[in-house]
């Protein structure tokens, strides 16, 4: 691992610093799975985030902690996943001396990384949970001693408050079995309800308490307390874990993906977030068509019995219609179960909700298929058919490849590395990932292929110098180069070289301004410094130009999302470094898309590939970029009946399937459900349903 870190943080060619005031600065990217995670004050205590201002450092210059720190952080991560908070707290405390050593190293000076440090954030919560007051005192002393840790000082004090609250919660729930969770603020005289809910969730995950659904809240019982039968029936208990259905009993070594002779396609880089609003405007009307895209809007009241249940908060489109999930078990249909799912047909008619047999940590559907697959927190893959009945199950945690890969990377808990799953349209094959490996397995349990994401001398870049543009700036860049979508990288590169030969100051004195604008346009469209082109002698070998990698410390390049192609005979594997690798039916790489940020959703139909990051949606047709659209972080997208919907809280942008804008529909109240009925857009809020019909041609 140490040698990997040294390769990772060696000095590398830098991208030019951002200097154009009209261009958006790049900011640290959220959502990375690495050794540093959880920023102070993070809303999600167990979410993975990565914040780092400058990665273009040498490992030996003191900018990073020593390797034992990363080892302890992996233990912390694994034990939190396994809900063994005693061991998690021990790992966090063991890492504190390594943080001190890092900060005392004079070679790092003031030029240090700005990091989110889990030992001080979630690690402190773990110490508060187990009552390690000495550990919290050591943490407090550390953050008070070093100015670099000033952002963690308030949080360090809050850990002591959390420790007291954990004990008060245990005492109160013991004294009052069945106490409703929404009464805890009053019982404990605490104003911060979010904090109470977070601490109760930790007690629940650790198995110290049981939470029984009671109306809109929970009745709380300590482990071992007498629980009335009628109440116990509302508490979910996971069924026995199945065995593995795999034929192979020993692990087959994953084939490391070789990117030699693989075509690279750099796309206009996606920022982690926008520093300005890209959300739709607010509407003063219940329903509004601000662009006049539809001939009419018909609004009707939804009877109380038919109103959409907000518990079904995740929506996916399939060949049979849309599938909606209550993954948090808040609906009546999920009472005593892990959650619920409901299918709405192609006309939007909702069926009867069905209970899920296991909790949902990951969901996979295919737009051209039926049914879905889910992965539980315990690592069980469950495949459901088109009628929402269980098709088959298998325990991914027992897969020999998972066990072998966990051992290779010194993972304490093998299942903590499980992440993505995907399903072919006919459910004949599934795919799953473990850290940096992806495996395709037949439904009969036979291995089809297995690959590992490469760790081949990655380039690190200064995150503050990546040239990123808005969609309008991308359009202007295309105009500068006399191009228009659909566009391939070959077209961009060829046109750049043609124009550069004409505009270069060495050939055309006085052409500096034109050349600068051309260079800016090229960087906006590819994320690549044009000066890299000058280092390429062989026109056919432009790997150095294309490789755009934002890597991270102390961990492999995790696989962040996967999907099968529209026909199911190929797969797409996205990594946290911002790459999407297409592999064929045998796992052989065909093309690499470079986004600059990882996509959290990948959908491919028979016609188009859709890649959505937290700030942008890309529409691709083979090796051509057809369209891109900027979008806010909280935005989902649906592909249905030849239309593409970008769904926000109170509005929907409607596009053709190739990304051409058709119209915008706004609502005054939050959207509960949206779907396409024939050619009409139907939007449901809590009490009303609006039908937008007569969509005009673009």
Number of neighbouring beta carbons within 10 Å of residue 428: 12
Q: What is the pLDDT of residue 477?
A: 94
Burial of 306 (0-12, 13-18, 19+ CB in 10 A): exposed
Structure tokens at 323: 């599938």
Q: What is the pLDDT of residue 530?
A: 77
What is the overall mean pLDDT for the chain? 84
What does the pLDDT look like over 493-514, one tens digit per residue? Answer: 999 988 988 877 777 777 788 8
> Residue 587 pLDDT > 60, yes or no?
yes
Class of the domain covering 255-458+551-695: mainly beta
What does the pLDDT look like over 412-467, one tens digit per residue? Answer: 788 989 999 999 999 999 999 999 999 999 999 999 999 999 874 444 444 445 67
Q: What is the pLDDT of residue 74?
A: 81
C-alpha distances (whole Å) from 107 to each of 3, 5, 64, 104, 115 are: 20, 17, 10, 9, 18
Number of neighbouring beta carbons within 10 Å of residue 33: 23
What does the pLDDT look like over 178-231, one tens digit per residue? Answer: 999 999 999 999 999 999 999 999 999 999 999 999 988 999 999 999 999 999
> Residue 12 pLDDT > 90, yes or no?
no
For residue 318, give the nearest of 620, 559, 640, 686 by alpha carbon.
640
Could you tell me which residues come within 8 angstroms of residue 668 by beta carbon, excluding any fewer than 6 positions away? 282, 283, 284, 285, 286, 287, 650, 685
CA gap 445, 334 in Å, rounded? 30
Domain boundaries, the chain: 31-226, 255-458+551-695
For residue 328, give the nearest of 179, 206, 211, 182 by alpha carbon.
211
What does the pLDDT look like over 257-302, one tens digit per residue? Answer: 988 889 999 999 998 888 888 999 999 999 999 999 999 999 999 9
For the chain, give the longest Cα–Cα distance. 88
Q: What is the pLDDT of residue 405?
A: 94
Task: Quote the pTM value.
Answer: 0.84
> Residue 45 pLDDT > 80, yes or no?
no
* Cis amide linkage into residue 486, ω under 30° from 0: yes
C-alpha distances (whole Å) from 360 to each of 224, 355, 372, 374, 378 are: 26, 12, 12, 6, 10
What does the pLDDT look like over 121-173, one tens digit per residue? Answer: 999 999 999 999 999 999 999 999 998 889 899 999 999 999 999 999 999 99
Hey, what long-range contacts does 231-234 have (CB within 8 A, 24 or more apart)?
231/178, 233/335, 233/336, 234/335, 234/336
CA gap 351, 488 in Å, rounded? 44
Contact call for residues 156 and 125 (beta carbons, < 8 A): no
Instruction: Region of 134 please: left (phi>0), alpha (psi -120 to 50) or beta.
Output: alpha
Region 598-627: mean pLDDT is 95
Secondary structure class of 211 (helix, strand, coil): strand
In degrees rounded to 5, what are phi and psi of residue 269? -55, 140
Structure tokens at 85: 């908070």
């Amino acid at each position: 691992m140490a040698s990997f870190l040294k390769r990772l943080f060696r000095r590398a060619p830098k991208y030019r610093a951002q200097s154009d005031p009209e261009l958006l600065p790049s900011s640290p990217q959220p959502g990375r799975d690495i050794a540093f995670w959880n920023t102070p004050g993070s809303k999600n205590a167990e979410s993975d985030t990565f914040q780092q201002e400058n990665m273009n450092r040498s490992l030996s210059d003191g900018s990073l902690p020593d390797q034992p720190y990363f080892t302890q952080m992996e233990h912390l991560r694994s034990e939190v996943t396994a809900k063994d908070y005693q061991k998690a707290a021990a790992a966090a405390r063991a890492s504190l001396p390594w943080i001190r050593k890092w900060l005392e190293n004079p070679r790092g000076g003031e030029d240090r990384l700005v990091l989110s440090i889990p030992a001080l954030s979630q690690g402190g919560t773990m110490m508060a949970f187990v009552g390690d007051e000495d550990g919290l005192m050591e943490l407090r002393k550390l953050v008070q001693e070093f100015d670099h840790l000033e952002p963690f000082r308030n949080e360090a004090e809050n850990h002591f408050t959390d420790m007291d609250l954990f004990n008060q919660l245990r005492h109160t729930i013991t004294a009052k079995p069945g106490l409703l969770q929404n009464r805890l603020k009053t019982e404990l005289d605490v104003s911060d309800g979010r904090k109470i809910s977070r601490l109760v969730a930790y007690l629940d995950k650790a198995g110290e308490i049981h939470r029984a659904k009671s109306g809109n809240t929970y009745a709380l019982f300590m482990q071992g307390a007498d629980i009335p039968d009628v109440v116990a029936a509302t508490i979910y208990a996971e069924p026995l874990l199945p065995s593995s259905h795999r034929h192979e009993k020993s692990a087959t070594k994953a084939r490391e993906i070789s990117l030699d002779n693989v075509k690279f396609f750099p796309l206009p880089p996606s920022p982690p977030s926008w520093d300005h609003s890209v959300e739709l405007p607010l509407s003063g009307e219940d329903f509004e068509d601000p662009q006049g895209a539809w001939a009419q809007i018909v609004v009707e009241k939804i009877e109380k019995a038919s109103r959409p249940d907000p518990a079904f908060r995740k929506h996916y489109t399939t060949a049979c219609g849309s599938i909606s999930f209550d993954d948090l078990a808040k609906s009546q249909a999920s009472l005593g179960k892990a959650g619920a799912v409901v299918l709405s047909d192609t006309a939007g008619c909702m069926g009867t909700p069905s209970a899920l047999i296991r909790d949902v940590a990951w969901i996979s559907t295919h737009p051209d298929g039926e049914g879905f697959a889910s992965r539980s927190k315990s690592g069980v893959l469950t495949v459901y058919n088109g009628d929402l009945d269980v098709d088959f199950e298998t325990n991914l945690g027992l897969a020999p490849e998972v066990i072998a890969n966990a051992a290779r990377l010194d993972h304490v808990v093998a299942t903590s590395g499980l992440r993505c799953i995907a399903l072919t349209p006919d459910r004949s094959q599934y795919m799953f990932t473990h850290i940096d490996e992806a495996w395709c397995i037949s439904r009969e349990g036979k291995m089809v292929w297995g690959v590992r994401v490469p760790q081949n001398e990655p380039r690190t870049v200064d995150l503050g110098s990546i040239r990123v543009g808005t969609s309008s700036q991308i359009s202007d860049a295309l105009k500068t180069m006399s191009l228009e979508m659909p566009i391939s990288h070959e077209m961009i590169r060829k046109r750049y070289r043609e124009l550069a030969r004409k505009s270069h100051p060495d050939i055309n004195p006085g052409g500096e301004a034109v050349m600068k604008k051309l260079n800016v346009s090229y960087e906006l469209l590819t994320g690549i410094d044009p000066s890299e082109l000058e280092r390429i002698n062989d026109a056919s070998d432009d790997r150095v130009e294309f490789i755009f990698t934002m890597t991270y410390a102390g961990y492999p390049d995790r696989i962040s999302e996967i999907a099968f192609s529209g026909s199911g005979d190929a797969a797409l594997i996205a990594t946290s470094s911002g790459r999407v690798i297409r592999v064929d039916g045998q796992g052989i790489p065909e093309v690499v898309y470079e986004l600059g940020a990882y996509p959290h959703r990948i959908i491919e139909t028979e016609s188009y590939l859709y890649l959505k990051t937290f700030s942008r949606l890309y529409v691709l047709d083979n090796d051509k970029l057809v369209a891109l659209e900027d979008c806010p972080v909280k935005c989902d997208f649906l592909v249905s009946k030849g239309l593409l919907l970008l769904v926000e809280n109170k509005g929907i942008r409607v596009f053709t399937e190739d990304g051409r804008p058709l119209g915008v529909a706004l609502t005054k109240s939050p959207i509960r459900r949206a779907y396409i009925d024939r050619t009409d857009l139907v939007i449901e809020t809590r009490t009303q349903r609006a039908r937008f019909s007569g969509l005009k041609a673009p």
